[in-house]
């Protein structure tokens, strides 16, 4: 009988036994209760205690005794138990002279580790610790399956099998009949250690879809899925820049808390490359380091100069919880040149960020000491103009004592920015804020705020900043500001369409003293734009270097509807500047005129199946969309469609790098079909009208990145074939298509 058919025959012979197995977890090998089923033949067995672990309890429908041969014969629903180990069979013969126990008929043995052994006949020792059988199938508690023509269990509880096969796949279908596993490892000799959960093979071969594809001379796998030392499943790829690519990884487990993976890459159009990945876990935190190294022909972003040189990439990150309040986290990224990451499909980032942050979070206080460094990979970027922010110190403290019924919070912040070929700046400020929040008898929620702040700045080489409004005045500068605000909301609740609606009018008054902003360098408040999320902020600039002064009133409305399975949120608002002096807010932000543009957001959600979000900014004069963003998601986890559209048409008359118009479409989707198959794809497309850039009416459709793939995934096997196309050439990261083939087998290699 073939090993995989042993279980099928047993299940087909007794449907009731098949049902019992499925109720107990089926072929997931989930283990067996040591007590008998309620009302079964062994229902009255005593509970095991520590002092009788060596005793064997048994129950059967009938027990006979052969006086001549001194043999006990138990038949019908035989159940044996010793400690956590159980045996079920149709017939058990116990030779009291030799101590041999022979179990026959629909035999099911569950060891102390929860592994189930299924066979038709097995010879056991008197204490059930040693056994010998033929045509066996083992269902491991962690999910793997072992079948063998012959198997035995030694006194250490180890299983030694000959002419065996192992798989992580199901070997029977939902009806209990045999099916061939997608993959299996066959070997002439197999040893399984259930304590260490390791299977060792000798003379092994890997078969996929019934075809033997590769020998595995020395193989061991962990049945619980944890990684073991050895080579992982290789990957394959083709690309325009590197040709055909083959990569293989050797994994080494250095200790229980650290491991190392070394990957080699071979290319037909480039020299080999090596990758090292190291991880370590400690008592207070963890870190990991990744490095790439190769020597190849590097072409700069101009595409004119090519030279052979050492190239690589370094990436490290980690986090440590030093105490309940103190923590340290860091990350560092560095590339040898601007095209390395794109050429070898490591990352498409155009800026690499490195930072370190020491942080303390208390009940009423917060402290942070951090530093940031950046590396630009943009074709037109200048590294000398990229800042290093070190140190950056931020401290906040909230006082529980009330002052005039409100809460007090103080804050101190300092920052130093250095450039090798650009403007340098140092900054420090301190502020104190008072907040009072009250609800009136009619339900209005009123928040009163008073804020005072003092700043000191120092800057040099200001003329090296190309945008004049960002420079400020060189040397020492200072400013002091005061802000007072009143914020009023009045929610109304009522029924609608079988659900509950909440309508909340919102009004805010803000008055800020005149501020000499233009004398101050602007490093962190450049990307200013009116949105629904900052409409009611005291300072609508994103950073600290610019303060929105003057007096203004902001008004808006929020509406929310919740009913079974549905939820709708919508808000809209606008502000009006009460003072007539010129504003420092540039055109294109929605705040340059006294009457601001209209901003809002609408979100509709149906369960977890459908969600659409619309963000917009309307010109307050022409009602033209200056910002129009739509993000929609439709489907389930296995079949879905995602669409994102963003059009920025700010009506800008001056050129600023932080306020660039764009028109972009993003799509992604996956369709599951034929049970295990799915197709997926994604794309990013530039839809910019040239009229936004050159006062023409010609539209463009330029794909930036597209990806398409097919996947086959079961409980034990995954196969992915991906196609990707890049449409932009930067140096030696040339445009073109790439294909990638990846597959993984459960418990054989890992990702």
416/458 Cα distance (integer angstroms) = 9
33/461 Cα distance (integer angstroms) = 78
Distances, alpha carbon 265 to alpha carbons 13, 245, 294, 415, in Å: 53, 7, 10, 43
Question: Among residues 313, 347, 359, which one has the least CA distance to residue 332?
Answer: 313
119/100 Cα distance (integer angstroms) = 18
Quote helix, strand, coil % in the chain, to nearest 5.
5, 60, 35
Q: 296, 268 in Cβ contact below 8 A? A: no
Q: Any idea which residue has 């990013």 for tokens? A: 684
234/493 Cα distance (integer angstroms) = 60
Predicted pLDDT at 657 = 65
Identify the burial level of 149 via C-beta atoms within 10 angstroms of its C-beta, where 0-12 means exposed, 13-18 middle and 19 or more buried.
middle
The dihedral built from the CA positions of residue 743, 744, 748 and 751, taken in this order, carries a sign that is positive
413/431 Cα distance (integer angstroms) = 9
Question: Among residues 434, 420, 558, 561, which one has the least CA distance to residue 498?
Answer: 561
Q: Tens digits of per-residue pLDDT, 634-672?
A: 999 899 999 999 998 887 765 566 677 889 999 999 999
- Report residue 212: phi and psi, to 5°: -75, 120
At 243, is the secondary structure helix, strand, or coil? strand
Beta carbons within 10 angstroms of residue 371's beta carbon: 17
Q: Any idea which residue has 């559209």 for tokens? A: 645
At 504, is the secondary structure helix, strand, or coil? strand
Q: 390, 416 in Cβ contact below 8 A? A: yes
150/500 Cα distance (integer angstroms) = 68
DSSP string, 170-202: -SB-TTS-B---SEEEEEEEEEEETTTTEEEEE
Domains in the chain with CATH codes: 5-226 (2.60.450.10)
Which residues lie below 8 Å from residue 559, measured CB to CB, with a gap of 6+?
Answer: 501, 502, 503, 504, 568, 569, 570, 571
Instruction: Enter the pTM of the model.
Output: 0.79
Greatest alpha-carbon span in the chain: 118
Paired tokens of 460: 């040099």
Counting runs of H as helices and runs of E as strands, what totals does the chain give?
4, 40
Paired tokens of 440: 């009136």
SS3 string, 636-669, reads: CCCCEEEEEEEEECCCCCCCCCCCCCEEEEEEEE
Say what percent of the chain tops pLDDT 90. Answer: 55
Chain centroid to Cα 540, Å, comes to 32
Residue ranges of the chain with per-residue pLDDT less than 70? 1-54, 582-583, 653-658, 689-700, 749-751
Predicted pLDDT at 603 = 98
Predicted pLDDT at 53 = 57
């Amino acid at each position: 009988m073939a090993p995989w058919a042993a279980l099928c025959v047993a299940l087909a012979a007794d449907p009731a036994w098949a049902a019992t197995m499925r109720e107990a977890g089926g072929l997931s090998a989930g283990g067996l209760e040591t007590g008998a089923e309620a009302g079964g033949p062994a229902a009255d067995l005593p509970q095991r205690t520590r002092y009788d672990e060596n005793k064997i309890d048994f129950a059967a429908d009938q027990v006979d005794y052969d006086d001549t041969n001194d043999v006990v014969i138990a038949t019908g629903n035989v159940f044996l138990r010793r400690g956590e180990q159980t045996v079920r069979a149709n017939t058990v013969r116990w030779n009291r002279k030799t101590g041999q126990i022979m179990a026959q008929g629909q035999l099911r043995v569950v060891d102390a580790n929860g592994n189930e052994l299924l066979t038709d006949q097995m010879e056991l020792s008197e204490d059930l610790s040693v056994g010998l059988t033929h045509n066996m199938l083992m269902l491991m508690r962690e999910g793997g399956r072992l079948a063998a023509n012959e198997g035995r269990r030694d006194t250490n509880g180890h299983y030694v099998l000959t002419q065996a096969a192992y798989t992580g796949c199901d070997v029977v279908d939902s009806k209990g009949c045999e099916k061939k596993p997608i993959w299996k490892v066959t070997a002439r000799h197999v040893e399984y250690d259930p304590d260490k959960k390791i299977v060792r093979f000798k003379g092994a071969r890997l078969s996929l879809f019934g075809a033997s594809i590769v020998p595995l001379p020395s193989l061991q796998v962990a049945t619980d899925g944890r990684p073991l030392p050895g080579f992982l499943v290789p990957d394959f790829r083709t690309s325009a820049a590197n040709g055909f690519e083959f990569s293989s990884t050797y994994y080494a487990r250095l200790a229980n808390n650290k491991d190392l993976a070394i990957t080699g890459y071979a290319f037909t159009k480039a020299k080999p490359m090596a990758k090292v990945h190291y991880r370590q876990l400690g008592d207070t935190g963890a870190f990991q380091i990744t490095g790439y190294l190769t020597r190849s022909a590097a072409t700069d972003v101009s595409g004119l100069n090519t030279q052979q040189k050492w190239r690589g990439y370094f990436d490290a990150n980690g986090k440590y919880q030093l105490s309940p309040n103190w923590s340290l986290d860091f990350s560092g990224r560095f590339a040898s040149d601007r095209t390395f990451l794109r050429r070898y499909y490591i990352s498409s980032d155009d800026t690499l960020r490195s930072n370190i942050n020491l942080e303390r979070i208390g009940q009423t206080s917060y402290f942070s000491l951090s530093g940031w460094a950046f590396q630009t990979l943009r074709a037109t970027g200048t590294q000398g103009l990229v800042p290093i922010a070190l140190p950056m110190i931020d401290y906040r403290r909230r006082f529980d004592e009330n002052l005039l019924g409100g809460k007090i919070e103080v804050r101190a912040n300092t920052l130093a920015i250095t450039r090798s070929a650009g403007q340098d700046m140092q900054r420090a400020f301190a502020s104190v804020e008072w907040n009072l929040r009250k609800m009136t008898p009619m339900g209005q929620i009123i928040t009163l705020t008073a804020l005072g702040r003092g700043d000191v700045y120092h800057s040099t080489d200001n003329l090296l900043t190309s945008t004049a409004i960002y420079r400020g005045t060189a040397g020492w500068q200072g400013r002091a500001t005061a802000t007072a605000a009143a914020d009023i909301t009045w929610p109304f609740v009522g029924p609608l369409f079988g659900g509950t609606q909440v309508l909340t009018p919102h009004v805010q008054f803000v008055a800020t003293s005149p501020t000499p902003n233009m004398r101050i360098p602007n490093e962190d408040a450049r990307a200013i734009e009116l949105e629904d999320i900052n409409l009611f902020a005291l300072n609508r600039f994103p950073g600290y270097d610019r303060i929105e002064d003057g007096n203004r009133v902001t008004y808006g409305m929020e509406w929310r509807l919740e009913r079974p399975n549905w939820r709708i949120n919508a808000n809209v608002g606008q502000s009006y500047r009460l003072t007539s002096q010129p504003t420092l807010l540039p055109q294109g932000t929605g705040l340059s005129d006294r009457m601001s543009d209209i901003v809002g957001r609408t979100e509709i959600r149906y369960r977890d199946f459908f969600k659409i979000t619309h963000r917009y900014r309307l010109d307050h004069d022409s009602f033209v969309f200056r910002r129009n963003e739509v993000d929609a998601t439709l489907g389930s986890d296995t079949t879905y469609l995602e669409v994102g559209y963003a059009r920025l048409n700010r009506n800008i008359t001056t050129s600023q790098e932080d306020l660039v118009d764009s028109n972009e479409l993003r799509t992604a989707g996956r369709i599951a079909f034929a049970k295990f198959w799915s197709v997926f794809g994604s794309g990013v497309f530039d839809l910019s009208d040239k009229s936004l850039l050159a006062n023409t009416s010609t539209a463009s459709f330029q794909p930036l990145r597209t990806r398409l793939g097919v996947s086959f995934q079961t409980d034990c096997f995954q196969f992915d074939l991906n196609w990707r196309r890049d449409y932009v050439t930067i140096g030696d990261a040339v445009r073109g298509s790439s294909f990638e083939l990846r597959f993984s087998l459960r418990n054989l290699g890992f990702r």
